[in-house]
Structure 1
């Protein structure tokens, strides 16, 4: 049995300003208190880093990440897609922020050759059930698997299945918690579209989820749980998140793929398995928005986790530093990569998970 390498990314938000620079932008009108035109987010990015082409080619937001991923050759590519893919639907009421990418811009996602989009998050239903249906149809039509949202509970809680050959599979469950802004009424139910909703991050919720996993996963499968949880800012990890992640691993989950924070949070190797408490954003239109500069949110990471062939435990973890400039990912400068390496090493110390920066500019997990 061969080892398997997963590419894992946090939030990929190709709506709003990103959608406006792509070849087929949707309507720019927004319902936000301060910004009412999505093109304003493009102007903010241009104000700090220079002109952005309009229209940009579909692969523009990924930039250097495409070349880097081709060189690193992951077997499976998994992201949290934090936007709906629709040109219709009603704005979700009582929400201040709505994200959508026009379906005609789907080439922006297929350019990255994504295998799975986790959808249990606080933006996939920004344009209601119609927008969710369009999102599912667009992704499935492009050959991208989804997890965490559906036209009913069965589809929302069904894992994405990625065959690896020789009967092996990667199974991806996607779940969303209220701490990340997922509304309770968005919970999928029989005959009701929605997301795989965790009412809380508790031992009971972990047990219910792992019971589902046990009914589906076989001994040769590698299991990823992608969870949208927590606040946007801050490096602290709540105790209940740690306990929840540990309960999943104790029950056999190989990777806990956490996201929602706009910047990286601690990484843990628990019982030989990977827990990412917050991957940080990968693609968005936040460039030029001030107020949280101390977190260096322009710096991003490509997470490459290689699982041991025999046990499914974490064999190696490589984190490739990139940065957003002109709404496009480019390699991080050496001093930026060093800053990220030092940050992750310090955040990982309480979890006995330490990192170092290699001569190749890649941040690697240090041996035990």
Structure 2
């Protein structure tokens, strides 16, 4: 949890427990898909097995998280924050106009609770893959399991409200979930008065940032740490658009302590601004992409876990530790030395104003540029 004067947070990228992963769990849902080339979710299991070996289905609920669970038990972060990019529903109302739909059966929820998330961010381009009824079922299932959510709700007020994780100090970790159009969130998915949906930004303009800052200032109390978790940008590539940089800095100027970016299928640059951390893209963490070819140069099979430590009193960054994993047989295994070296070199090369180096324990750490 950090010392008395610091707070450690666990952050990761996209967590997708549907489709192939749902099929290897104890309660697989309907495997039918409406994708251009794959019509049965079990084909994603077969693709993973073709490159990594058999998956002993049905697997226990903690299977997808693999070695990451032991790391988290040792690190004991004060808050575990994940971007849940999966509808949790029995529904079959496929959202029109989308080529990919993700859902996990509600009875497989133990595969999510196994990692004991403190906040599930839902402001992404898959949480309404099965319509507003699917989102409503998702919200109800997570609430009954005692899981906090941010970024989607039964109406606009619920979607934009932060999740609050209490700290022993009496302060809180406030998590705001936001989704940008650039990540593929349809305009019609925006939550409205009395309408379920996501906290969809109109764009990354100065005005949009000012509205988020207003919400931060309304919610924040002394001793709180503010995380803004935002789904933005394309799937591939290292370049960070200037509008993302301006938006992140405006949030920090307005009171955010950590900007937690996700949507890309691989890690994007790590940045700091005024002593605060900006993760422009955390990459994927859990999914069924293991056997899918293409974009191998980005090493989407490497799955980083981010342990962010900040001062409890000020929210200023005091340390970042990145623990690399690799997807194999639909679960996370420790990355080998060569994979760790590759990820370290990539993050160090692409991160402007910060240096990333290897630590003796096999993790990667952030230092000044």
For the superposition of Structure 1 and Structure 2, which TM-score range results when normalised by the shorter chain? over 0.9
Q: Which structure 2 residues correspond to residues 63-74 of structure 1 after superposition, within 5 A? A: 63-74=66-77
Q: Which structure 2 residues correspond to residues 149-228 of structure 1 after superposition, within 5 A? A: 149-228=152-231
Shift, 1:167, TM fit: 2.2
Shift, 1:129, TM fit: 1.1
C-alpha distance in 1, partners of 2:141/2:62? 17
Alpha carbon RMSD of aligned pairs, Å?
A: 0.9
Please, which of 213, 223, 237 is the counterpart of residue 234 of structure 1? 237
C-alpha distance in 2, partners of 1:309/1:327? 36
Match of 1:148 in 2: 151
Match of 2:51 in 1: 48
Please, which of 308, 312, 336 is the counterpart of residue 311 of structure 2? 308
Please, which of 332, 335, 359 is the counterpart of residue 332 of structure 1? 335
Match of 2:324 in 1: 321
C-alpha distance in 1, partners of 2:92/2:50? 32
Shift, 1:219, TM fit: 2.2
C-alpha distance in 2, partners of 1:268/1:173? 19
C-alpha distance in 1, partners of 2:151/2:92? 20
Tell me whether 86-95 or 251-260 shows the greater mean CA deviation. Answer: 86-95
C-alpha distance in 1, partners of 2:148/2:217? 21
Q: Which secondary structure does the structure 2 equivalent of 1:265 belong to?
A: coil
- Native 8 Å contact 1:89 1:130 kept in 2: no
C-alpha distance in 1, partners of 2:87/2:52? 27
Please, which of 259, 264, 267 is the counterpart of residue 267 of structure 2? 264
Q: Which secondary structure does the structure 1 equivalent of 2:137 belong to?
A: helix
- Native 8 Å contact 2:225 2:312 kept in 1: no
Match of 1:284 in 2: 287
- Native 8 Å contact 1:301 1:321 kept in 2: yes
- Native 8 Å contact 2:223 2:312 kept in 1: no
Match of 2:360 in 1: 359
For residues 7-45 of structure 1, the C-alpha deviation after alignment (integer angstroms, 9 at most, x for no partner) is 001100000001000000000000101000000000000
For residues 291-345 of structure 1, the C-alpha deviation after alignment (integer angstroms, 9 at most, x for no partner) is 1111111001010000113321000000001000000100000110010001111
Q: Which secondary structure does the structure 2 equivalent of 1:256 belong to?
A: strand
Q: Does 1:6 align with 2:9?
A: yes
C-alpha distance in 1, partners of 2:146/2:5? 25
Match of 2:88 in 1: 85
- Native 8 Å contact 1:147 1:173 kept in 2: yes
Match of 2:350 in 1: 347
Number of residues of Structure 1 aligned to a counterpart in Structure 2: 366
Q: Which secondary structure does the structure 1 equivalent of 2:167 belong to?
A: strand
Q: Which secondary structure does the structure 2 equivalent of 1:28 belong to?
A: coil
Q: Does 1:16 align with 2:19?
A: yes
> What TM-score comes out, normalization by structure 1 length?
0.98
Q: Does 1:62 align with 2:65?
A: yes
Q: Which runs of 5+ in 2 are unaligned?
A: none
Q: Structure 1: which 4+ aligned runs deviate by more than 4 Å?
A: none
C-alpha distance in 2, partners of 1:367/1:121? 32
C-alpha distance in 1, partners of 2:340/2:119? 27
- Native 8 Å contact 1:178 1:198 kept in 2: yes
C-alpha distance in 1, partners of 2:144/2:257? 29
Shift, 1:269, TM fit: 1.1
Shift, 1:166, TM fit: 3.5
- Native 8 Å contact 1:322 1:330 kept in 2: yes
Shift, 1:232, TM fit: 0.3
Q: Which secondary structure does the structure 2 equivalent of 1:282 belong to?
A: strand
C-alpha distance in 2, partners of 1:309/1:85? 34
Q: Which secondary structure does the structure 1 equivalent of 2:8 belong to?
A: strand
C-alpha distance in 2, partners of 1:201/1:41? 35
